[in-house]
Amino acid sequence: MFFREKSGAVSWLLVCLGNPGIKYKNTRHNVGFHAADALEKRCGAKFDRLKCRALTGSVTLGGEKVLVMKPQTMMNLSGQAVQEAARFYKVPPERVLVICDDVSLSVGRMRLRTGGSAGGHNGLKDIIQRLGSSDFPRIKIGVGEKPRPEYDLADWVLGRPTQKEWETIEAVIQRALDAAECLIEEGADKAMSRYN
C-alpha cells in the first residue's frame, strides 16, 4: 500500500465519524475517529487542518487523492461537514466513503455496503439527509450490541469498550482501512467480496 500526497483535485471523501472533545475519546461511537488516527500513523500524515467543519488532511489511496475528514460537529450533525466538503470539491455521494461504529455487529466484525438506510445511526442519518442520497459506501465496525434490551442505547455507544475489546476493534480498523483502499482502487464489488 502506498500513501503519498498527490497534487490535483480531491476525488474521494473518507469521512471518519465520531464526537469531538475529550469527553468522548475512546467511546464506542468514536471508532471512526480511531480509524482516521490509525490512517495517520499508517501513512505518516496529519489530519489537523480545520476545513468544512472537520479536521482534514489529504492522502492518496488506491491511486486517488482522498480528503480524510473527522467532522467536528457532534455526531448527529456530521452531515453538515460532509455536505460542505462534497459541494466544495464536487464529489458525488458514491465517492463519499464513511467509516463508523455499528451496534448491530459484534466486536470483531466489519461490514462494507454501497448504500442503504442509516440503520439507526444518527451520524449516517444526517449525512443521508444532507446529501439527499443514501447511495454512498460505508464501512461499519462492530462495537457489540447493548447487553440488555432495557439498557439505554446512548449510554452504550458513549461508553468505553474493555481493553480486550479495544484490541479487537483496533485489528478490525486496520482491516477496514485495507477495505477502504480496495474499494477506491478496485471498486465496491471486489472490496465486498474480499472483506465482508
- Tens-place pLDDT, residues 126-135: 999 999 999 9
Nearest-Å Rg of the Cα atoms of the chain is 15
Pick the catalytic residue: 13, 18, 24, 29? 29
- Considering only residues 36 and 145, tell me which one the structure prediction assigns the higher pLDDT: 36
As a dihedral over the C-alpha atoms of residue 71, residue 74, residue 75, residue 76, rounded to 10 degrees, the angle is -120
The length of the chain in residues reads 196
- pLDDT digit string (tens) for 153-175? 889 999 999 999 999 999 999 99
Q: How far is CA 104 from CA 89, 113, 145, 148, in A?
A: 33, 14, 6, 13
Q: Quick one: which H or E segment has residue 20?
A: none
Instruction: Tell whether the model's pLDDT for residue 15 goes beyond 90.
Output: yes
58-71 burial, b if ≥16 CB within 10 A, otherwise e? bbbbbebbbbbbbb
As a dihedral over the C-alpha atoms of residue 128, residue 134, residue 140, residue 143, rounded to 10 degrees, the angle is 50
- Min mean pLDDT across 43-57, 134-148, 166-180 is at 134-148
Q: pTM above 0.75?
A: yes
Q: So what's the pLDDT on residue 8?
A: 64
Where residue 186 falls among pLDDT bands split at 50, 70, 90?
very high
Q: So what's the pLDDT on residue 182?
A: 98
Nearest to 139 by CA among 47, 48, 72, 61: 61
- Considering only residues 3 and 108, tell me which one the structure prediction assigns the higher pLDDT: 108
The secondary structure of 70-131, three-state, reads EECCCHHHHHHHHHHHHHHHCCCHHHEEEEEEECCCCCCCEEEECCCCCCCCHHHHHHHHHH
Most distant CA pair in the chain, distance: 51
Instruction: Tell whether the model's pLDDT for residue 96 goes beyond 60.
Output: yes
Q: So what's the pLDDT on residue 1?
A: 41
Mean pLDDT of 55-71: 97
Percent of the chain with pLDDT over 70: 96
Is 34 assigned a catalytic role?
no
Where residue 150 falls among pLDDT bands split at 50, 70, 90?
confident
Instruction: Tell whether the model's pLDDT for residue 11 goes beyond 60.
Output: yes
